[in-house]
Amino acid sequence: MDKSSHTYDVVIIGGGIAGCATAIALQKLKPSLQIAIIERNTIHSSATVFRIGETLPPQSSSLLNTLGLWDDFLNCNFIRSYGTAAAWGSATLRHNEYLFSTAGYGWHLDRATFDQFMYLQATRRGITFIEDTTILNSNYTNDQWHLHCNRERKLTARFVVDATGKKAVFASQQHIQKIKDDHLVGIHRFFRINTATTPLGKGTCVETDIHGWWYSATLPNQTLVVSYMTDADIANRFLYKKSIFFNTALENTKYTSQRISNASPLTPIKLVAAHTQRLSSCIGKNWLAVGDALSSYDPISSLGIYKALHSSIYASYAIIDHFKGDSIGLQKYKQLHQLLFDNYLQKRHAYYKEEQRFVEAPFWKRRQFDQTTISNHKKTLIHEL
């Protein structure tokens, strides 16, 4: 099939978890749909990188089941996870069930393997995957989207899904506003550990300090990820991206430092955006957004992948309704997302309020206010640094 110019029922932009899950969900509901995913990277290059975002909460299993992926997921041999140990609000490490979840066990993934798994599941179901391709611009005429891509590719679609992650590329091209709620960043490094465990055991460990919080998680293949979550201005001020400053801050931690005592770095230190964000509208004329493009959550929730799967399933219902001429589906999708996002904001606020030891420090002070007042305080606090 010539992929350079083709008409599809649905074109999904972004071949991450949300993009693949949306394609799988749509194909399951209506196998006759012509679906393509365009992805800016090559699959080969993605398979070998270390990617942050690796803890899957217990409630994800029912979504993997709904998508028809559960048995194959179990064959990936990811590590079971039974909760989080957290020194949050006090210097004592306490063992919790998942912070935002009901009971049960979750998973620690090798993220590159999981992304590759989603890609393979999508292509196995006959979904066209067009890699090394990105959208340049688009226009809507004659009831169709005309997508102009690099490499002189032109695609036509009855419906477009934006699954491009935090960048929300397609929505941005439609002049939809990305509403940022904070400036959280994650400065992280992967380590090789000598055994499957660490002096502090397996699983996730979270601890706070004056400028933010640390998390570390044991992953498959004797790997440990360590990430410091702080605000972008604080990270810049304390030069946390440089190894010497990151390592010093890490050495000063009470618990996380114990986990790397016999570990050797596998990757350089990397900074990624981790802010909370939503779109001013997540639906439009024959398009919608899923996953992080729809909204992105603070990593303290461990809900990013769950939300990518959840939004993809509900997006597939809305798109099928839309093809049947029922526009209510898209509106319901928007309302559901708004409800879930508000619920997330409330839980996040309550959780940050549990840490009262550093409330005079900007990172924590910024998180003591609820969302209606927080934006008024932000500018002042940045100058207090």
Ligand X SMILES: Cc1cc2nc3c(=O)[nH]c(=O)nc-3n(C[C@H](O)[C@H](O)[C@H](O)COP(=O)(O)OP(=O)(O)OC[C@H]3O[C@@H](n4cnc5c(N)ncnc54)[C@H](O)[C@@H]3O)c2cc1C
Considering all CA atoms of the chain, what is the largest pairwise distance in Å, rounded to the nearest integer? 63
Tell me the β-bridge partners of 305.
none
* Minimum CB distance to ligand X, residue 180 (Å): 14
Contact residue for ligand X among 10, 54, 157, 162 (CB under 6 A): 54
User: Does position 41 bind ligand X by CB under 6 A?
Assistant: yes
d(CA 129, CA 258): 43
- Using the contact rule CB under 6 A, the part of the chain among 52-60, 87-95, 242-250, 343-351 near ligand X is 52-60
Cα dihedral 204→109→239→377 (10° resolution): -70
- Using the contact rule CB under 6 A, the part of the chain among 17-25, 83-91, 261-269, 330-338 near ligand X is 17-25
246 membership: H or E segment, kind and range: helix 243-251
For ligand X, the closer of residues 303 and 330 by Cβ is 303
List the interface residues with ligand X, window 273-292 (CB under 6 A): 274, 291-292
* Minimum CB distance to ligand X, residue 121 (Å): 14
* Minimum CB distance to ligand X, residue 381 (Å): 22
User: Does position 53 bind ligand X by CB under 6 A?
Assistant: yes
Kindly provide the b/e burial profile for residues 33-42, where b requires at least 16 CB atoms within 10 angstroms of the residue's own CB. Answer: bebbbbbbee
- Using the contact rule CB under 6 A, the part of the chain among 15-23, 250-258, 359-367, 368-376 near ligand X is 15-23
Contact residue for ligand X among 121, 256, 295, 302 (CB under 6 A): 302
d(CA 63, CA 97): 20
Contact residue for ligand X among 164, 256, 286, 295 (CB under 6 A): 164
Contact residue for ligand X among 14, 58, 203, 284 (CB under 6 A): 14
Residue 370: CB atoms within 10 Å: 11
List the interface residues with ligand X, window 333-372 (CB under 6 A): none
* Minimum CB distance to ligand X, residue 234 (Å): 15
Angle among Cα 166, 180, 378 to the nearest 5 degrees reads 150
Closest CA to 183 of 379, 337, 351: 379
Residue 367: partners with Cβ closer than 8 Å, 6 or more residues away: 182, 349, 352, 353, 374
User: Does position 167 bind ligand X by CB under 6 A?
Assistant: yes
For ligand X, the closer of residues 14 and 284 by Cβ is 14
* Minimum CB distance to ligand X, residue 109 (Å): 8
List the interface residues with ligand X, window 93-122 (CB under 6 A): none
* Minimum CB distance to ligand X, residue 150 (Å): 9
d(CA 361, CA 282): 34
For ligand X, the closer of residues 18 and 330 by Cβ is 18
- Coil, strand or helix at 171: helix
Contact residue for ligand X among 10, 12, 15, 340 (CB under 6 A): 15
Tell me the β-bridge partners of 11.
36, 160
- Using the contact rule CB under 6 A, the part of the chain among 16-24, 83-91, 206-214, 347-355 near ligand X is 16-24
* Minimum CB distance to ligand X, residue 32 (Å): 25
User: Does position 135 bind ligand X by CB under 6 A?
Assistant: yes
d(CA 9, CA 78): 34
* Minimum CB distance to ligand X, residue 34 (Å): 19
* Minimum CB distance to ligand X, residue 174 (Å): 14
Crossing angle for the helix pair 328-353 and 304-323, to the nearest 10 degrees: 170
- Using the contact rule CB under 6 A, the part of the chain among 53-61, 233-241, 245-253, 258-266 near ligand X is 53-61
Specify whether the CB–CB gap between 193 and 262 falls below 8 A.
yes
CA 58 to chain centre: 16
- Interstrand relation of 35-38 and 55-56 (parallel, antiparallel or unpaired): unpaired
d(CA 345, CA 368): 12
* Minimum CB distance to ligand X, residue 326 (Å): 26
Closest CA to 164 of 44, 311, 382, 17: 17
Classify residue 133 by its DSSP letter: -
For ligand X, the closer of residues 106 and 284 by Cβ is 106
User: Does position 37 bind ligand X by CB under 6 A?
Assistant: no
Give me the residues that bind ligand X (CB under 6 A), please. Answer: 13-19, 38-41, 52-56, 134-135, 163-165, 167, 169, 186, 227, 272, 274, 291-292, 299, 302-306, 308
